[in-house]
Structure 1
Amino acid sequence: MPADWIWGLIGGLLIGLGGAVFLLANGRVMGASGIIGGLIDGTGHKNAAERLSFLAGVLLLPILLNPFYQPFSTNVTDSVAVLVIAGILVGIGTRLANGCTSGHGVCGISRFSLRGIVSTVFYIMSGGLTVALFRHAMGVI
Structure 2
Amino acid sequence: MIGLSAVLVMLFLGRIAGISGITWGAMTGPLSERGWRAAFLLGLLAAPLLVLALTGTAPEQTVPSSMPGMIVAGLLVGFGARLGSGCTSGHGVCGLARLSPRSLVAVLTFMATAILTVFVLRHLP
Q: What are the residue-to-residue correspondences of 1:1-141 with 2, within 5 Å?
A: 14-40=1-27, 42-67=28-53, 68=55, 69=57, 76-137=63-124
Alpha-carbon distance between aligned partners in 1 of 2:118 and 2:75, rounded to the nearest angstrom: 16
Q: Which amino acid aligns with 2:44?
A: V
Structure 1 length normalisation: TM-score?
A: 0.76
Structure 1's unaligned 5+ residue stretches are: 1-13
Letter paired with 2:82: R
Identity of aligned residues (%): 40
Structure 2: 5+ residue stretches without partners: none
Cα distance in 2 for partners of 1:109, 1:94 equals 16
How far apart are residue 128 of structure 1 and its match?
2.1
- Structure 2 distance, partners of 1:35, 1:99, is 10
Cα distance change of structure 1 residues 88 and 73 upon mapping to structure 2, 3 Å threshold: closer
Q: CA deviation at 1:110?
A: 1.5
Question: Which aligned runs of 4 or more in structure 1 are off by greater than 4 angstroms?
Answer: 69-74
Separation in 2, partners of 1:71, 1:58: 13
Write the letter of the residue equivalent to 1:19. Answer: A
User: What RMSD, in angstroms, separates the aligned Cα atoms of the two structures?
Assistant: 2.0
Higher deviation after alignment, 125-134 or 94-103: 125-134
Q: CA deviation at 1:32?
A: 0.7
| Pair 71,57 (structure 1): closer, same or farther in 2 beyond 3 Å | closer
* Separation in structure 2 between the aligned mates of residue 108 and residue 44 of structure 1, nearest angstrom: 24
TM-score (norm 2): 0.85
Distance 2:92 2:103 in 1: 6
Q: How many residues align?
A: 123
